[in-house]
């Protein structure tokens, strides 16, 4: 003979279930907010400074990356500054019949010289690069020909975590990178959502990290 449950018991069970679901939902919201507000700080990582074979300036972030490299050079952390070379926008402009004075490395060289680095200490690495993964390969290949296989890699603040990840993934184990952020980079890691520039940096870096974790299926993104 079937017995009916007490309505009060059923109501209590439903109430506990809704309280549990509400608690889980609140916890997820708190975690999502913590991730949202904390991602800017999480993106910025730096290694302890030490003397190295060279200081490598990743392309982009003109002129603050080159200025940081010059400061490290003046402080005696490395005897050379290495730049990478991108064929763009030179190739695209050339195809349109528009003359182009030079790539970013030309202007980075001028910044370095302006900041006290002698021209003889500045070297542009080959081959040309398209993205940060290419830069890691080119820099580590140059290091592979040196006795001292350590390099200080200078980039923008939000780009440091991805640069470090790509180095660990792509560079040979004997090549060591000291990742440093440009101190004059205006990126506001505490309040990155307040301006378009910082927000775009965060979105680009998070997508870039996802691409790196997935094994770099998108190979032409910076």
The CATH code of the domain that includes 158 is: 3.40.50.620
Residue 81 included in any domain: yes
Q: How many CB atoms neighbour CB 163 within 10 A?
A: 25
In the chain, the N- to C-terminal Cα span, in Å, equals 71
Structural domain harbouring 183: 54-187
Residue 158 included in any domain: yes
Our separate counts of H helices and E strands in the chain read 7, 5
Q: For residue range 150-185, what is the model confidence (pLDDT) as tens digits?
A: 999 999 999 999 999 999 999 999 999 999 999 999
Q: Is the dihedral of CA 140, 144, 146, 148 positive or negative?
A: positive
Contact in structure between 133 and 88 (CB atoms under 8 Å)? no
Q: What's the total number of domains in the chain?
A: 1
Residue 143 included in any domain: yes
Residue 133 included in any domain: yes
Residue 42 included in any domain: no
Model confidence band, residue 214 (pLDDT cutoffs 50, 70, 90): very high
Question: What does residue 124 show for φ and ψ, rounded to 5 degrees?
Answer: -95, 120
Nearest CA to 156 among 179, 178, 177?
A: 179
pTM of the predicted structure, to 2 decimals? 0.86
């Amino acid at each position: 003979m079937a017995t009916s449950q007490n309505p009060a018991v059923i109501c209590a069970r439903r109430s506990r279930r809704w309280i549990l679901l509400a608690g889980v939902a609140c916890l997820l919201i708190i975690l999502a907010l913590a991730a949202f507000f904390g991602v800017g700080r999480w993106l910025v990582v730096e290694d302890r400074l030490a003397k190295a074979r060279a200081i490598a300036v990743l392309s982009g972030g003109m002129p603050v990356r080159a200025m940081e490299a010059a400061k490290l050079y003046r402080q005696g952390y490395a005897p050379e500054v290495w730049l990478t070379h991108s064929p763009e926008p030179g190739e695209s402009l050339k195809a349109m019949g528009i003359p182009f004075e030079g790539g970013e490395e030309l202007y980075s060289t001028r910044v370095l010289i302006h900041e006290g680095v002698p021209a003889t200490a500045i070297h542009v690495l080959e081959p040309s690069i398209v993205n940060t993964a290419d830069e890691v390969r080119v820099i580590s290949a140059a290091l592979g020909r040196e006795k001292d296989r350590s390099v200080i890699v200078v980039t923008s603040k939000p780009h440091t975590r991805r640069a470090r990840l790509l180095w660990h993934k792509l560079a040979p184990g004997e090549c060591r990178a000291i990742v440093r952020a440009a101190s004059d980079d205006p990126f506001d890691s505490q309040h990155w959502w307040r301006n378009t520039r910082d927000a775009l940096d965060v979105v680009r870096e998070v997508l870039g990290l996802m691409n790196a974790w997935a094994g770099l299926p998108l190979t032409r993104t910076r």
